[in-house]
Amino acid sequence: MNKLPLNHQGKEKNGFWLLNPASNIENILLSLFFLLLPTQLGKHFWPDFAVVSGIRIDYLSPTIYFTDLLLVLLFIFFLSRQNRHLKSVKFKVQSAKLLVSGFVFLFLVWNIFQSSNPLLSLYGLAKLCEFGFVVYYVAKIIKHTSQFSVIAFLFGISSLFESLLAIAQYLNQGSLNGLFYFLGERTFTGMTPGIANASVNGILLLRPYGSFPHPNVLAGYLLVSMVLVWSFLLMTNKRWMQIFGSIVLVVSSIALLLTFSRVGIFLWLLGVVGISFQLLFKKIKTVRHRFLISILTICLLAFLGALPFAHEVISRFSQTSFVEESFVERSELLSASWTMIQQNPFLGVGLNNFLPSLAPLQKPLPLGLYLQPVHNIFVLVVAETGVIGLGLFVGVLLATWQRIKNSEKEIRGTLFCLLAIILVTGLFDHYWLTLQQGQLLFAIVLGLSWSRQS
């Protein structure tokens, strides 16, 4: 990728692009939002609908996160800016859009009030609206391809911090506590009930969390961050960006391997091979440079393979079995989901009502460890909103894919990779739709995909 062009319509400060030149305060708030997206500092509330079978369920607990407060402030700035332009805007009502919006509204109302717990569905709708605002806001403020480098830089900072925290947690085999608690790190050790461990040669190893609610979420975030860093920091001609980007990629790769997320590691390996292939056969023409790239790639993989934890990561894959807990858990959840779908094929069980509907279908289990969403975002959507909701969801994804095809050449490949990461990992996990960081990251990727670059 070539150096991103300077657009005369933008503004530049100290050689670095502002995310939103319209307001310095808004720019600071948006930068903080990107920086603090991995954190989960928040206040949980526990109404009756957040308790299932006598167990408090985090997924159902209404929570006010610090990132929510930042979004509220950004929403206020957004509304004030819109009000200033209302007189100069001529509204054109398009019948097709009005018809689709009306259908979606009626469907959501019907879905909510036919659910077993409408209050829980209303909370799910509130999060869906927040999700939609992030998509719309990011799509509106990103007007220049150069802004992607700022976003990549902010993601790089957070990714480096999360990676160092995760590596420290792995070495400590527990949380670091202290000030990290205020960034969302929870107190845990390898013996904490329900904690994510990897069984390697009969030994349980703690999978690091960073400040995320699960190692798989950390892996997904690192994948997205590394794609952004590679595309918009490493490919520039600014030496300090290249150095910083290289450090982020190496440290994040180590942290990603330590999460023992099999899907995440597989996609990372696929990315390394794909990038090497692209450099060797598309961008680099001379035999000498192709040979050099081949040697560097082999050295990088050999370096990672020689690290102390490499044996554990390899064993994690070689000892994969369909009778291990994670596979049995996913199978049980898919089976229960199919029962829900058969009982409610068109409207589903209701937004956010998967877990209350799951409890009567599952065997009693200690501490409700299996009382969690099905590990597939498409199955989760159809279970909660029926085939109608699934059709709307797939329609949005297909429209986004088509939108990316028509985007600027400099960012098209990156956006395809980001959406592909979400879709592939979403086949094996649910956090893109159920957890704060996953929801916001999904919304950001959709917003970037729908932005109008120039």
CA–CA gap between residue 31 and residue 18 (Å, rounded): 9
pLDDT digits (tens, 9 = 90+) for 196-250: 888 777 778 899 999 999 999 999 999 999 999 999 998 778 888 889 999 999 9
CA–CA gap between residue 364 and residue 368 (Å, rounded): 7
Residue-level pLDDT, tens digit, the chain, 454 residues:
333 333 333 444 443 446 765 678 889 999 999 999 999 999 999 999 999 888 889 999 999 999 999 999 999 988 887 766 655 555 555 667 778 888 899 999 999 999 999 999 999 999 999 999 999 999 999 888 888 999 999 999 999 999 999 999 999 999 998 889 888 888 988 888 888 888 777 778 899 999 999 999 999 999 999 999 999 998 778 888 889 999 999 999 999 999 999 999 999 989 888 877 776 666 666 666 566 666 766 776 666 666 666 666 666 666 666 656 677 788 889 999 999 999 999 999 999 999 999 988 876 554 445 688 999 999 999 999 999 999 999 999 999 999 999 888 889 999 999 999 999 999 999 999 999 999 999 999 999 999 976 5
Structural contact between residues 351 and 121, judged by C-beta atoms closer than 8 angstroms: yes
Per-residue b/e over 331-344, b at no fewer than 16 CB within 10 Å? ebbeebbeebbeeb
In 3D, which of 401, 436, 408 has the Cα closest to residue 148? 408
Structural contact between residues 321 and 199, judged by C-beta atoms closer than 8 angstroms: no
Write the CA distances from 67 to 152, 230, 450, integer angstroms. 18, 26, 22
User: Helices (DSSP H) in 86-180: which residue ranges?
Assistant: 95-113, 118-141, 147-172
CA atoms within 13 A on the CB side of 287: 0
pLDDT the model gives residue 4: 38
Report the amino acid identity of residue 263. V
Structural contact between residues 211 and 185, judged by C-beta atoms closer than 8 angstroms: yes
pLDDT the model gives residue 328: 79
pLDDT the model gives residue 87: 52
pLDDT the model gives residue 3: 37
In 3D, which of 301, 298, 381, 397 has the Cα closest to residue 344? 381
pLDDT digits (tens, 9 = 90+) for 156-206: 999 999 999 999 999 999 999 888 988 888 898 888 888 888 877 777 889
CA–CA gap between residue 300 and residue 55 (Å, rounded): 46
Structural contact between residues 353 and 120, judged by C-beta atoms closer than 8 angstroms: yes
Q: Cα angle vertex 132, ends 121, 81, to 5°?
A: 130
Instruction: Assign 284 to helix, strand or coil.
Output: coil
In 3D, which of 368, 375, 431 has the Cα closest to residue 50? 368
User: Do you know the residue count of the chain?
Assistant: 454
